[in-house]
Structure 1
């Protein structure tokens, strides 16, 4: 597995992964990320299968997702680390259930609202 910048031809596969994770992100946001070098994909060693995707809007992580069968294998971590290599700072808003993921990546975490959302920030 390796991480690379997404291309327009990766758009359907990236959307499939993001939709499979039940994330509410529209195709135009992902397309804009591709145009601005803000969408990265993790692909199988032979480069034929998209295993995960991270979408950035500037320094903000809009979405990160990994195919269900490939979760727990470090793919999400590799995607966020690759994003961190491309940005001086990263931010993210997320639900409590993924808080350990972001804490493990060195994000400083704080409560974002009373509805259970959290916000994280990490300097590279």
Structure 2
């Protein structure tokens, strides 16, 4: 994804930015509506670290999407949860959030890769964003889970 002109941008009426403590409840609501299990303490920690992003409506200033990334290892940024309000799905908001997380990883010299674990039906979504995709470890994840990885050390995925 690094240095390419096809990096997804948010729709014209949406901006992606770091989440602030004032966005906490909106982030939790968006993730909860998508039935994603991310606890409030993790959201608070990731907001403080700058690793939580929101997609905000230019018209209403409301949060229409959220992404929470964790750092399971010092050199890896992991997309832990990404969700978009139902009325805004299919319009590029989720892609813009993930692309912004990759850009965040690229801007941090300590980060070598951005990763994600996801269900098989999301393979095309992550592949289109430049992630290399492989099956997850069945001893750790369910057998239908996949792992995606994009290198931030350069423009090539590993």
Gaps of 5+ in 2: 1-13, 72-76, 107-112, 153-158
Match of 2:149 in 1: 121
Q: TM-score, normalised by structure 2?
A: 0.75
CA distance in structure 2 between the aligned counterparts of 1:55 and 1:33, rounded to whole angstroms: 7
Among 114, 136, 158, the alignment partner of 1:90 is: 114
Q: Which runs of 5+ in 1 are unaligned?
A: none
CA RMSD of aligned residues (A): 1.1
Shift of 1:46: 3.8
> Which of the two has greater helix per residue?
1
Q: 2: distance between equivalents of 1:3 and 1:117?
A: 27
Distance 2:42 2:120 in 1: 24
Please give the alpha-carbon distance, in whole angstroms, between the structure 1 residues aligned to 2:93 and 2:47: 19
Query: For 1:59-98, what per-residue CA distance to the aligned partner results, in whole angstroms no more than 9, with x for missing partners?
Result: 1110010001100000001101111111032100111111
Which residue in the other structure is 1:66 paired with? 84
Q: What CA distance in whole angstroms lies between the structure 2 residues aligned with 1:33 and 1:46?
A: 26
The alignment covers a number of residue pairs equal to: 124
